[in-house]
Structure formats: structure tokens, C-alpha cells
Amino acid sequence: MTERSLAERIGLIVEYLFMLGIIVALGHMTWYFIEYGYLRQPFFYEPSGTWMDWFALSRYAHIKGAYDVELTIYPPLSFVFMKIFSISQCYHDNFGEEVRECDWLGMAFVCFTYVCAVVLTFWHFYKFDKRTFLPRAFAIAFGFPMLYGFERGNLVIIAFIFYVLAFGYLLKSARLRWICAGFVINLKVYMIAPVMALLVRRRWVQVEAILISTLVIYVLSWLILGEGSPAQIVGNITYYSSGFGAQRILDLWYSSSLIPLRTLMESEVPIYAALSSEQVEYVRLFAISYTYLAQGLVLLALAATWLRPEVVPPSRLLFFGAIFALSSSEAGGYTGIFLLFSIYMERWKGIARPAAIVLAYIICIPDDIIIPLGMPPLIRDSFLGNREVAAYLGIGPLSIFRPILMFTITILLASFTIRQVWVDIRQQGWKDRWRYRRDLPLFPGVLRPRPATAAGGESKVDG
């Protein structure tokens, strides 16, 4: 048995152990729900708010005001979906949470999209690598980011379906991939960042086609809905981005960035009862510096990829683009499913990539340890439990550490990418890639590519 095959076997055992850990966490959450009637932390702290990301906005699919009253940042396509897959009569007199009792079509569609996302996830990873598909697909499908998005009824699940089709192994048609990518961007605007990251790989036609697809889908959905002009969307995004800040401890409830942690340290929340002023400043500086470190390494990795685009797999570029966008603004922890999709397409080889995969499994654990805040329980009507419950809230360490772990993954993969490109340059890897012969050498002393017959065949770079 070779050293590589032994490492891969050990890695596979580790991945299955993490899958078992996720199953145990799911079992604990199920027991807690049966016993107490609501989904405990780290799920949303309002037991009555299940699926309300969908139903709170569906009203504006049937009446005007999504961009003037609600100030939503969703493009019109989101409301077109809601208009088609919801019952219009339910929103004439019902407001708030009670609309779920009427709109059975909306509830069915939310569940249907989750099932589709699960099926496509397993199918994609089975085609990607039959050895590791089960633990990796299971971690995404039943891990916390996906379950959190489903529990909220967020459009991120629909966007993820199109994301898998656009950048996974399921569709062979380039045109269909471009259309699916256009749907992704029209559902989640920040997902234009991973598409633009593909430019460093010289994918000019692909990026141009995706942008055209995005524009066509946007215009059609704008015409169907009748509102959602570019000026309205940009204005609302600007307002949302500039106005966000954590105003209470519960705003740390599983975020996608360190912005809530930083703004909480800068707010007037009475956190000095638990931390000294010096400790508060240390936490604030850590949140800022760790974010800048991850973002800086991403930019360096993208620059390195531009020098040797054939060395870095497209899935990693998608990760770099997405994490840069998600670390710059707060979009919610469920957005991690896009990042996990790319991380689990890395090979278990070396040190950086296995470490990133292990941290990804930790992020997927759908459970947390509750540290009590010393506040009385919230008395609420649980939608899923269909009864009144007393919800006990606290601080969840994993809720705070998940974005830190994701930034650590970013640092690992970005550093590995920079080293990978540097090694390829030193080993004259370019000389064996005849199809890149028209590229500029950029560095002195670089041997130009030779035909395969003279070079003995093209080399393959392990991405």
C-alpha cells in the first residue's frame, strides 16, 4: 500500500466518523424537539418563525411595495417564484405568521425545493467521487447551513439548486449551465462574485454568457413583476449594507462573517458585564484583522491563479469569489452551502486541503452548546411543535466560531494555492502545456510550451 493510498483511506475513515457525528447531532436535535416542542439553538431563536423568510415576503409577490415599503434587496425573480408557488387569496387579509395556515402551496414548495437540493447534492458528489460522495453529500444535505436555510424557508435553497446545476457535474450543456448561473445571480446578487472570479482563469466566453443570461432573466422577471428597477435594488442594497450592525447578543446567531461580532463590540450593548474594555478591544481587533487577512490572501491567490490558471481548479475560484463577497457583508449563515460545495470538491491530499475538509465538517454539525444568558425563557407558540413552548436562549460557541472556521479554511486554501502556483513555476510546469503556448511567459527564464510529441505528453496538475 502506497503512502498516498494509506492517507486517503485514513481520510475516508475520518470523513465517515464526522458523518456519524452529524447523525448523532441530528438525533439529539430530534429528541430535543420531541421533548420540548421547538428546535433549539443554533436554529432561529423564534420558535414561531419557521419558514417566515418565504412567507414574510410572499405577500409582496401579489401586491406592490416590495422595494418601496419592504425595502427588499431581492431581485424581481424571487417574487416571480413566490407569485407562482403561493396562493394569492391567502395574502389579502392575512398578515404575518398566520398566513402559513392558508398557503399550503407555499409550504409544499419550500419542502419540495429542499428535497430537490438534497437529491442534486448526492447526485453531483456521486459523479464527482464515488469514494467520498456519501459523507460529503450527507454533510451538505443534512448539515447545519442547509437545514438552517430550510428552516428559515430562505431562497438560498432554490439558488443552491441552480448553483449545483451551473457549476456541478450534472449538466453537459454549456448553455444550460449559463442559464442556471443567471438564475443564481438573480436569486442572490452577491453570487456574481464567484462568477467574476472565473475571469482569472481566462474564462471570457463563459463569464460573458453568464452575465448576458443574468441580464435577460432580470429584465424578463422585472417585466413580469412590474417593479424592481436597478436603481431600487442598488439603493436598498446600499441602505442595508451601510445600516447593518449587531445591536444585541442574539445577532451573533450564526452569521456568515465577523461583522456582527465586530459591530457588537462597537455597540452600546452592555457586554462589559462579561468582558473588560481591554478584552472587548481585543475581540474587535481580532474580527477586523482576521477578516482582512483572509481577504488579502484571497486576492493574492487570485493573482497567482492568473499567472497559472491551469493549476487551480474552477471550484476553488468559485470559493474565493464567494467568500470574499460574504466576508465583506453579512448575508446569513445559510450561505455557507455555496462555500461547502467547493470545499468538498477538494482532494484529501497534503495538509491544507484535509484540514479544510475537517473544519468544513465541524461547521456542518447541526447542534451547539448553550451557555445561559441568565434571561427568562421566551414564551412562544411553536409552529412545528403546534403548542406553546418556553424557549431558553443563550450564547452558542459554534455560532461564533463558524465564521472563524470558514475564514481559517479560506486562509488554508489560499495559502495552498499560492504555494501550488509557486511550485509549478519553479518546476517549469508551463513547458508541458502546449495549449497554453500563446500566453505571455510573464517571468524571465520560463520555458515555452512544447508540442506533446516532443514533451512526451501534457502533464496533469493535481488541483
Q: What is the pLDDT of residue 150?
A: 97
Cis ω on the peptide bond leading into residue 42 (within 30° of 0)?
A: yes
State the chain's mean pLDDT as an integer: 88
Residue with cell 459523479: 127
User: 24-56 pLDDT, tens per residue?
Assistant: 999 999 999 999 999 998 898 889 999 999 998
**Which of 120-134, 267-281, 396-410 has the largest mean confidence?**
120-134
State the angle between helix axes of 76-84 and 174-187 in degrees (0 to 180), rounded to the nearest 10: 100
Contact of 361 with 25, CB cutoff 8 Å? no
Torsion of CA 265, 266, 270, 271, to 10 degrees: 10
Cα within 13 Å of Cα(450), Cβ side: 12
Residue 71 has pLDDT above 50, yes or no: yes
Residue 4 has pLDDT above 80, yes or no: no
375 vs 377: CA distance, rounded Å: 7
Residue 386, C-alpha cell as written in the block: 403546534
Cα angle for residues 89, 91, 97 (degrees, 5° grid)? 130
In the predicted model, what is the mean pLDDT of residues 220-229?
94
Residue 20 has pLDDT above 60, yes or no: yes
Q: What is the pLDDT of residue 156?
A: 97
Residue 455 has pLDDT above 60, yes or no: no
User: 346-377 pLDDT, tens per residue?
Assistant: 999 999 999 999 999 999 999 998 888 777 88
Q: Are strands 394-395 and 371-372 parallel, antiparallel or unpaired?
A: antiparallel
Write the CA distances from 181 to 154, 163, 164, 213, 354, integer angstroms: 18, 6, 9, 8, 29
Query: What percentage of the chain exceeds 90 in pLDDT?
Result: 61
Contact of 303 with 108, CB cutoff 8 Å? no
User: 151-164 pLDDT, tens per residue?
Assistant: 999 999 999 999 99
Residue 68, C-alpha cell as written in the block: 418601496
Q: What is the pLDDT of residue 3?
A: 64
Q: What is the pLDDT of residue 278?
A: 82
Choice between 227 and 95, residue whose per-residue pLDDT is larger: 227
Residue 462 has pLDDT above 60, yes or no: no
> 329: helix, coil or strand?
coil
Residue 459 has pLDDT above 50, yes or no: no
Residue 271 has pLDDT above 70, yes or no: no
What is the pLDDT confidence band of residue 458, given thresholds at 50, 70 and 90? Answer: very low
Q: What is the pLDDT of residue 39?
A: 93
Q: What is the pLDDT of residue 454?
A: 42
**Which of 93-102, 286-295, 302-311, 436-445 has the largest mean confidence?**
286-295
Q: How many residues does the chain have?
A: 463
Residue 245 has pLDDT above 60, yes or no: no
Close Cβ partners of 128 (under 8 Å, ≥ 6 residues apart):
168, 169, 345
74 vs 191: CA distance, rounded Å: 12
Q: What is the pLDDT of residue 2?
A: 66
Q: What is the pLDDT of residue 243?
A: 54
Q: What is the pLDDT of residue 442?
A: 61
21 vs 17: CA distance, rounded Å: 6
Q: What is the pLDDT of residue 92?
A: 83
Residue 434 has pLDDT above 60, yes or no: no
> 258: helix, coil or strand?
coil
Residue 419, C-alpha cell as written in the block: 504555494
* Residue extents of the structural domains in the chain: 3-426, 431-463
Cα angle for residues 140, 4, 406 (degrees, 5° grid)? 30
Q: Is 442 left (phi over 0), alpha (psi -120 to 50) or beta?
A: left
Q: What is the pLDDT of residue 11?
A: 94
Secondary structure element (H or E) that encloses residue 402, with its range: helix 397-426
Choice between 14 and 454, residue whose per-residue pLDDT is larger: 14
Of 317, 321, 318, 336, the closest CA to residue 403 belongs to 336
In the predicted model, what is the mean pLDDT of residues 108-114?
97
What is the pLDDT confidence band of residue 203, given thresholds at 50, 70 and 90? Answer: confident
Residue 166 has pLDDT above 90, yes or no: yes
Choice between 93 and 392, residue whose per-residue pLDDT is larger: 392
Choice between 429 and 34, residue whose per-residue pLDDT is larger: 34
| Out of 126-135, 177-186, 380-389, 450-459, least confident range | 450-459
